[in-house]
Structure 1
């Protein structure tokens, strides 16, 4: 996509040799078959069967070695042919993705034959990530108007961050009518996450070059990045109809399936090609980890950190899901975000670490990263962009703004437990308790339901929706620990404020037993007085099911001297509470 990288050997080409070797030898029995013409190097190259081409060249080389030195004539011609064979073998290794081997061979060619292969060397270095070495080599090439040199230099200065030189080369490519230069420009748009600009260039090129089928793959990649998975698959099918065994296209189809359906469906697309040693094997192994929801992440992803860019991000996500925030932060700490999803992940990691450590600095970094994505012109109307802005406002504690953004994408996450959990928190914080209660009750993920925060919010919503007994049930199903004590305090105080005095009295009674402080007795005394008032006024809320005897029972269990005085007063006026 960047430098007209060729397609790897196909499944059909890998089987070509074995098919041809088994189809002959049936001899004189039956009709004599016409002997097919011997394959040539050009045949293999046209079919992009670089494995076959390399085998052909090595076989030709062996034949030449056997016949070498039989006579003195033709030595110069033989030497020339040998140089051509060596260059073609290096060419095949490059297109098979073996850039290190191709680099080694080109260096040997340059050293022994003084042949001008500097550009070939530089291209191999680029694909190996040796950007500074490649840039230094290209800078010494005197040929000014070489299109390949211009394209290579364009991508090198982008990698090295040379802004002024990049802008100059960008203008040159933009004004060029060459198809190769336009494709290079489009790939730069893609790398910079300017997907719509890349689509515009690809469509323009495809109008006049309909036989350039691979452009459909590039378009499909852009649509995928824009979350248009159906459109991506529609365009990709055009290419797959002609090249059904393309590793890159099959992988992209699997990714579309993953987004549209699930990991199990996606895995079916690539499981037959994941271990066959083809170009892109590392990418396939990486994607299988993603499709399997992180299974094998620690075995596969660490080795791919410097090979597949997304490996670092997905390993950080794995650590976040495992609750290992420190490891996730260690991976993301040195990463300088260049794309929206990198900014989002860095923001999420800092938010998680900030909450874990109580660090305002990390929270601030999270706010900045998420707000940057949500407010950008390219992302503000996308689902991730609106999620980012909602998250930023969540961290700012501006929950009315959170609801604005979450409501705009609600239809895409109707059954998403994490979304509903966050949505419910924002609803609760803004006083929409009934809606928050409904959202919380929809959640099925037990990891969420066992969280202390979930229990606190659910109890509060139950109380404000006139279901205090449900809030009490939330407490009694929890283990007795410090978090349960905080939940009990919330139930006691919220019930008191909502005039649900009977549950408030039970909660304060429990608090007094755990901590016989004056504050807990005063809360219990006030709640019991509220129960008496509710009974005397025949109110619909705040009354015990068992009548006045339950209030007396709670007061008897108190060691405070005021409790006995309250009991005497109640008995004196007991007729008013029936």
Structure 2
């Protein structure tokens, strides 16, 4: 953009040899040097700042016709848009819409929508683009708007409307990137590069995709192609610094980009730089969350990341770390959610005595809560307190929980251990034939054998046509000995 304007108009050697030229040649050279570049020349060089200056000079002239001023305004908005000055471009388009003396072309609605999209005004952008002509630009913009709105069905429908043309394929690749489908984006960019070797900027996009895939060395190789031609590109230099940071350390990255001290120097000056970038650059939010974590400001870190929907591993990890820090905060220990979290932790660790310690302290708040009772009953049963576990299991009203195998298996065990094998048997018979019913029958047989109530084992053998009786049946007489030695009659058996 502005860099092309820093070079002198005439090289030192050319100005030094001008004394030897003929007067006619000198006059021609001076005339060429003093000639004002045309708009086309500025645009061809992508010198949009120079083009805007030229347009402001020629477009505001009192001698210019109304149509000339309209054309100048359209080109000024075009240059402002490509300079990233989307607010200025939007204002110009809105002024053109308000001017009733010479209505602008219908395409201006689409251009206005593009400005609104880049400013994050997605609803306004959709309303504007629908007023414009139905063309591929409209389809591409609606495609991106559907992604921003999270409308998956509409996104897929608009995907089908894309054509095999350069602009549509680049738009599709960008959506793949935004949805973390980096390999699909790489495939599109590489295919376009094979047909258009001079599209050097695509190498930056490919390098960025490889960076997201953690292929930092490959990203460096691809990025080098672009840096050979544009060594002063801020985007490419920043990406190269990020690769160095991942491959080596922060010091190596700092050598590549001196201005990014916020990231590479452990967050110095983060509060002066990063908050203004949140919402515009995705990495700004993540870096600011990391800064807050390092400062032990868990509350601010949580406020920043709580609404983030992770798409890549480091986002999942960062959100998990923040949530873990919230759960470990001392101020939350004696709250109801804090005690629930502690109980969940001990439940996963299978330390059920500790689970009951926390659940007993809050059970009065969840007397009719099926989920709480389900977990509470499991903990009771795991500590062999089957009588209370059975009572709590039977309090559950949720059909979804009651139809689960976990509920049925635990209740079956409670029935058996509480001396109610008949009810356990009836619970098994109420189940449909499935792998779960087979597992429940095995559990029933084993637990009945433990308390010398032998009924399920023969049924297991008959139902599943076992070639020989289960080994447990051979121990049946011995299992009766504890009962008979205590003066109890042997249990009834079904043959």
Change (3 A) 1:327 1:28: closer
SS of the residue aligned with 2:190?
helix
What is the Cα deviation at residue 102 of structure 1? 0.7
Structure 1 residues 363 and 51: alpha-carbon distance in aligned structure 2, compared to 1, 3 A threshold:
farther
Show the counterpart of 2:242: 255
Provide the rounded CA distance (Å) in 1 between the counterparts of 2:337 and 2:346: 16
User: CA separation of 1:321/1:303 partners in 2, compared to 1, >3 Å: closer, same or farther?
Assistant: same
Q: Does 1:243 align with 2:241?
A: no
Judging changes above 3 Å, is the alpha-carbon distance between structure 1 residues 230 and 60 closer, same or farther for their aligned structure 2 residues?
same
Tell me, in whole angstroms, the C-alpha distance in 2 between the residues paired with 1:59 and 1:230.
48
Greater RCO, 1 or 2 (C-alpha within 8 Å, sep 6+): 1
Structure 1 position 136 matched with structure 2 position 127: yes
Q: Point out 4+ residue stretches in structure 1 off by more than 4 angstroms.
A: 18-30, 358-366, 393-398
Q: Residues of 2 paired with 1:31 and 1:61: CA distance?
A: 38
Alignment partner, residue 255 of structure 2: 268
Distance 1:168 1:41 in 2: 40
> Structure 1 CA distance, aligned partners of 2:56 and 2:339?
60
Residue 40 of structure 2: which of 32, 39, 42 is its match? 42
- For 1:365 and 1:90, the matched residues in 2 are separated by 55
Alignment match, 1:325 = 298
- Number of equivalent positions: 334
Q: Residue 51 and residue 164 in structure 1: after superposition, are their counterparts in 2 closer, same or farther (change >3 A)? A: same
CA contact (8 A) 1:354 1:363 kept: no
Task: Tell me which residue corresponds to 1:308.
Answer: 281
Displacement of 1:86 in angstroms is 1.1
Q: In structure 2, what is the equivalent of residue 125 of structure 1?
A: 116
CA distance in 1, matches of 2:246, 2:77: 38
**Residue 181 in structure 1 maps to residue 168 in structure 2:** yes
Contact persistence 2:220–2:243 (CA under 8 A): yes
Q: 1:123·1:134 contact (CA, 8 Å) conserved in 2? A: yes
Distance 1:93 1:394, change over 3 A: farther
Change (3 A) 1:21 1:120: farther
CA distance in 2, matches of 1:363, 1:54: 64
Q: Which residue number corresponds to residue 430 of structure 2?
A: none
Write the mapping of 1:182-201 to structure 2, written as runs, cut at 5 A.
Answer: 182-201=169-188
1: distance between equivalents of 2:339 and 2:248?
Answer: 34
**Deviation at 1:307?**
2.5
| CA deviations over 1:157-181 (Å, ceiling 9, x no partner) | 11012221111012222xx210111
Displacement, 1:266?
2.3
Other-structure match for 1:222: 209
Give yes or no for contact 2:48–2:79 (8 Å, CA) kept in 1: yes
Distance, in Å, in 2 between the alignment partners of 1:219 and 1:349 is 31
1:206-229 CA distances to partner (integer Å, 9 max, x unpaired)?
A: 121222111111101100101111
Q: What per-residue deviation string (whole Å, max 9, x for no partner) do you get for residues 320-351 of structure 1?
A: 11222222122222333344332221111011
8 A contact 1:347–1:365 mirrored in 2: no
Q: Which runs of 5+ in 1 are unaligned?
A: 1-8, 69-74, 275-286, 369-392, 399-578
- Cα displacement (A) at 1:25: 9.0
* Map of 1:15 onto structure 2: 6
- In the superposition, the TM-score normalised over structure 2's length comes to 0.61
d(CA) in 2 for partners of 1:395 and 1:323?
Answer: 28
Whether 1:340 and 2:313 are equivalent positions in the alignment is yes
Mapped partners of 2:217, 2:49: distance in 1: 34
Alignment gaps of 5+ in structure 2? 351-495
User: Structure 1 336/188 Cα, relative in aligned 2: closer, same or farther at 3 Å?
Assistant: same
Q: How does 1:365-404 map to 2 (within 5 A)?
A: none
CA distance in 2, matches of 1:55, 1:21: 24
Per the alignment, residue 355 of structure 1 pairs with 328
- Mapped to 2, the partners of 1:186 and 1:331 lie a distance apart of 28
2:309 partner SS: coil
CA separation in 1, counterparts of 2:76 and 2:338?
A: 53
Cα deviation, residue 356, structure 1? 2.2
Q: Does the CA-based 8 Å contact 1:10-1:246 persist in structure 2? A: no
Contact 1:363 1:395 in 2 (8 A): no
Q: 1:44 to 1:30 in 2, by over 3 A?
A: same
Contact 2:77 2:92 in 1 (8 A): yes
Distance 1:172 1:199 in 2: 21
- Residues 109 and 319 of structure 1: CA distance in aligned 2, closer, same or farther (over 3 Å): same
Query: How far apart are 1:257 and its partner, in Å?
Result: 2.0
With over 3 angstroms needed to count, the CA separation of the structure-2 counterparts of 1:183 and 1:54, relative to structure 1, is: same
Distance (Å, rounded) in 1 between the aligned partners of 2:177 and 2:339: 31
User: For the residues of structure 1 that align with 2:13 and 2:66, how far apart are their CA atoms?
Assistant: 36
Shift of residue 268, structure 1, vs aligned partner: 3.3
Partner of 1:573: none
Residues 404-431 of structure 1, C-alpha deviation per residue, up to 9 Å, x if partnerless?
xxxxxxxxxxxxxxxxxxxxxxxxxxxx
1:86 is matched with 73
Q: Does 1:168 align with 2:166?
A: no
Query: Per-residue CA shift, 1:457-483, capped at 9, x if unaligned?
Result: xxxxxxxxxxxxxxxxxxxxxxxxxxx
What's the secondary structure of 2:329's corresponding residue?
helix
TM-score by length of 1: 0.53
Matches within 5 A, 1:292-307: 292-307=265-280
Confirm or deny: 8 A CA contact 2:109 2:131 kept in the other structure: no
Q: Is the 8 A contact 1:353 1:362 kept in 2?
A: no
C-alpha distance in 1 between matches for 2:214 and 2:338: 30
Structure 2 partner of 1:428: none
Query: Hey, what's the Cα distance between the residues in 2 that align with 1:365 and 1:47?
Result: 61
Give the structure 1 partner of residue 263 of structure 2.
Answer: 290
Q: Assess if the C-alpha contact under 8 Å between 1:192 and 1:339 holds in 2.
A: no
Aligned-pair CA distance for 1:202: 1.1
Q: Is the 8 A contact 2:327 2:341 kept in 1?
A: no
For residue 19 of structure 1, report the CA deviation from its aligned partner: 4.5
Q: Note the 1:517-532 alignment, pairs <5 A.
A: none
Cα root mean square deviation, aligned = 3.1
